Structure 1
Amino acid sequence: MSEKALHYLKEHRDSHLESLKAFLSIPSISSDSAYKDQVHEAAEWTARALEEAGIEHVQVMKTKNHPVVYGDWLHAENAPTLLIYGHYDVQPVDPIELWETPPFEPTIRDNKVYARGASDDKGQVFMQIKVIEAIMKTEKQLPVNVKFIYEGEEEIGSPSLDPFVEAHKELLKADILLVSDTTMIEEGQPSICHGLRGLTGLQIDLKGPKSDLHSGLYGGAVQNPLHALSDLLASMHDKDGHITIEGFYDKVQALTDEEIETYEKLSNDAELKRYLGVEQLFGEAGFSSKAQLWGRPTLEVNGLWGGYQGEGVKTVIPSEAHAKITCRLVPAQDPKEIAELVQKHVEKHLLPGVTAEITLFDQAKPFVTPYDHPAIQAAGASLEKVYGKKTIYTRMGGSVPVVETFNTLLGLPAVLMGFGLETENFHAPNEHFHLENFDKGLQTLVDYFFRITEALK
């Protein structure tokens, strides 16, 4: 570890936080075309930050949608090359009225920075860059070779990144993938994520009569699309939380006895209920809450709408009904196959009097890597040194689609060393990032960059 780099980070903490605020103030919402210019602005900001840190060959590279930011520094002889990944795009901010402070006016309170993207993933991208800056400014060179790839489409499933990686295999060639876009298991407890669930998303649109109908004149003789949709969605689970779509579980890899035991020990249902504000948890019967969250697949209704939504009553039979669904997947489920199974289920269980149209959205394959890899164990050692506690190796319920892409196309083992917390409201109002993990995360990354070369010899 470089004491000079650590001193630099401590000395520049205030100015770094102001710089982070500037980054967080850019509304780089990738899912909304109205923010296309702001997404590009965030890419340019990221590129400038890399250049200021001493990274070479920095480019803002076009894709079919939002750009990829690339840069490298490749002068460390006989040292491994780390491909460092993150994303500068963010989620939408709705419902805006639930934010205590504006989502793109970063605010620090209670030793946390509040803003959209603070935890997911601008805050962690910023940390990666500033650690490189600290080492370069103080040591004048890096102990490892680094390549950076920061994208602007992670929050919409990274549709442009697979073809980008395919077209730039030589440019992105490396030994290890380092990602800081995951969470620690709890505050003060260092953890390394070695598995991510996959994802498939779709929208179901039911169409009934040609227009909304008077419920008095036509009710009882016409199928109500909202009723049909409710029946259809209810048919996808049983009362014990199992998914009833035929073939859904056929390729699911069973959890090992060690995983089942570990997840049982890590499950704290009382604390989870308290944090979520619910009186009772509900999930697939026969599994602990951590097993449900990390190692089992799901099917969730994310949005449901149709008919009159205004104040008071409007007595209509709606013409249409809609639902958005995402499935979180585990090894060895395939997103395309699961989407096809859901489509078949819709066709089989659709009530008469309505037609269905299905639109496919985000897809990502699940990913699990052995956590005994030397690069992952080195990350665990760096975390233990800074946090003073033994590192726990876990899976995570979310998805980072590009991790599987880099593993498949480039053969890279992935070190998923994130510093966020599951309680930091990413994808929700009042997203925030604990500055304790900001500070300790910087120290951990400094240690890791100096430790990794020895670990891979």
Structure 2
Amino acid sequence: MHPSPDQKSDLRGREAAIASAMRYIEEGGFKSDLAQLVACRTETSKQGDAVQKLTYLTDLLAPHLARLGFSVQVFDNPDAGSGPLAIYQRIEDTNLPTVLMYGHADVVPGLDGQWDAGRSPWKLEQSDNRLYGRGTADNKGQHWLNIAALREVIAARGHLGFNCKILLETEEESGSPGLELFCETHRNDLAADVLIASDGPRIRTGRPTVALGSRGNFNFDLEIRYRDSGRHSGNWGGSIKDPVIRLAHAIATIADDHGRILIDEWRPEKPSDRIRDLLKDCPILQSNGVSRMDADWGETALAPAERVLAWNNFAVLAIKAGSPERPVNAIAPMAWARCQLRFLAGLDPESILPTLRAHLDANGFEDVALKPARSTWWRGTTTNPDDPWVQQVMCSLEKTEGHTPDLIPCIGGSLPNHAFQGIVGMPAVWIPHSYSDCSQHAPNEHVRIDLCLSAIRVMTGLFWDIGQNGEEGERDAY
């Protein structure tokens, strides 16, 4: 069957929009715009940067989006002391589908002075195929690529063919305090048919990834305190409790010596056949085709990708006792550990500490104190892989790149996806534009230019297809 003249015209329009999007990167437009975003020091941990966060939303993004026909609303965070949020909207026709996009303007600390070759985290610098700077991968570069793709569709078609809302927050790196309450309060303002957003890494660099949610994240502290100061190990050793030994044995009841979770309530159901089928060829944690996973660690009955993307994980992030820098011959007075549970949809984060309390008490560790490490947490989420929006995204990306994207039930990390999927209520599709070796949260954060080219291709094609499909009312045809 040959395409009709109208179909040929639309195909040419799609191809022209994608070609223009690629020139935006190849001719330096993306680099120039991203440099301005990186230069805005929106470090999440510094209250003094509240002005920079507001500047990012109002002075950097708002003018660009206003030129694309978006209205702009900036809001105070309902969590006192946390950074602002903004909603940008372009409503073309209430009968058209509505896409909600999300990104975060805040970045982790720049770690000035620790970058290679004397680079500054706040000055974008290119070296071969890489653009270095804080926020290039997490998350300024990713949400800006999506905005640029919207611009290319509007420029080529004259309109989007769907309604678009964009939510930008400035506290994601601190756990998104206030975001869920904001979404509850502004549920109608954020209402949409689907969330399409970008964060995190692709599974493999040469193929787009479509992620349907994220694992939840709950950080908590374990502490044993027996006395106010240390006691000489020669005079007191063997006669008083050692909190370090006690804490080590307490942790050993949570996970065994191969990292396998021992608390039944923290162990999810085994992956379904549908999920196992999605992940059977997923090359998780590979570099140049070689796995970097430890074969004997974790839930070894599961396939490598299933351990990260279809299971829960307990980790000890830090542990301290005594004076690690200058050990002395004394029994430490206390021991402390910061721990973390990454978990799938289905585990209520409010049950985590009560379950752990009961478990430790049952094993004779009533002396271990528990407390959450922060007041907010992210829930585990996922979207049905057979949802029509998921299928539309998969078909569009395959149409653009010529091969089937990797489809995964969730990313291994955590995102505030519950605010959209659980509170506002919509399927969620995440299309990450980075890769696992991007050095996010570390010195030398960067994006790869070849991945940016692929990202803007697939996003321009996707937004073009959503607009065409929305106007024709044939989304189910995908």
Say whether 1:91 aligns with 2:108: yes
- Aligned partner of residue 29 in structure 1, secondary structure: coil
- Aligned partner of residue 196 in structure 2, secondary structure: strand
Verify the 8 A CA contact 1:49 1:129 in the aligned structure 2. no
State the AA in 1 paired with 2:304: S
Say whether 1:456 aligns with 2:475: yes
Match of 2:402 in 1: 388
Moved more, 213-222 or 406-415: 213-222
Sort the Cα spacing of 1:343 and 1:18 in 2 relative to 1 into closer, same or farther, 3 A: farther
d(CA) in 2 for partners of 1:270, 1:183: 12
* 1:141-220 equivalence runs, <5 A: 141-220=159-238
* 1:400-411 equivalence runs, <5 A: 400-411=414-425
d(CA) in 2 for partners of 1:90, 1:343: 34
d(CA) in 1 for partners of 2:245, 2:113: 30
Sort the Cα spacing of 1:187 and 1:281 in 2 relative to 1 into closer, same or farther, 3 A: farther
Verify the 8 A CA contact 1:108 1:114 in the aligned structure 2. yes
Match of 1:80 in 2: 97
Sort the Cα spacing of 1:211 and 1:274 in 2 relative to 1 into closer, same or farther, 3 A: farther
Select which of 303, 311, 315 maps to 1:300: 315
Sort the Cα spacing of 1:371 and 1:20 in 2 relative to 1 into closer, same or farther, 3 A: same
Verify the 8 A CA contact 2:315 2:340 in the aligned structure 1. yes
Verify the 8 A CA contact 1:57 1:71 in the aligned structure 2. yes
Post-superposition shift, 1:370?
1.6
Post-superposition shift, 1:450?
1.8
Post-superposition shift, 1:267?
4.4
Select which of 73, 88, 98 maps to 1:59: 73
Residue segments in structure 2 that go unaligned for 5+ positions in a row: 1-12
Match of 1:330 in 2: 344
Verify the 8 A CA contact 1:308 1:316 in the aligned structure 2. no
State the AA in 2 paired with 1:69: A
Residue segments in structure 1 that go unaligned for 5+ positions in a row: none
Match of 2:129 in 1: 111
Query: How many residues in Structure 1 have an aligned counterpart in Structure 2?
Result: 452
Verify the 8 A CA contact 2:99 2:165 in the aligned structure 1. yes
Post-superposition shift, 1:423?
2.8
Say whether 1:375 aligns with 2:389: yes
Verify the 8 A CA contact 2:255 2:262 in the aligned structure 1. yes
Match of 2:4 in 1: none
d(CA) in 1 for partners of 2:411, 2:21: 32
Compute the RMSD of aligned alpha carbons: 2.8
d(CA) in 2 for partners of 1:374, 1:355: 48
Sort the Cα spacing of 1:123 and 1:294 in 2 relative to 1 into closer, same or farther, 3 A: same
Verify the 8 A CA contact 2:320 2:336 in the aligned structure 1. yes
Alpha-carbon displacement from aligned partner over 1:340-368 (angstroms, at most 9, x marks no partner) = 2123334444658x552423434222112
Moved more, 164-173 or 371-380: 371-380
Q: Percent of aligned positions with the same letter in both sequences? A: 23
Post-superposition shift, 1:59?
2.1
Say whether 1:70 aligns with 2:87: yes
Verify the 8 A CA contact 2:259 2:298 in the aligned structure 1. yes
TM-score by length of structure 1 reads 0.89
d(CA) in 2 for partners of 1:87, 1:270: 28
d(CA) in 1 for partners of 2:365, 2:151: 61
Sort the Cα spacing of 1:60 and 1:316 in 2 relative to 1 into closer, same or farther, 3 A: farther
State the AA in 2 paired with 1:220: G
d(CA) in 2 for partners of 1:217, 1:173: 67
Post-superposition shift, 1:91?
2.8
Select which of 443, 447, 462 maps to 1:433: 447
Post-superposition shift, 1:417?
1.7
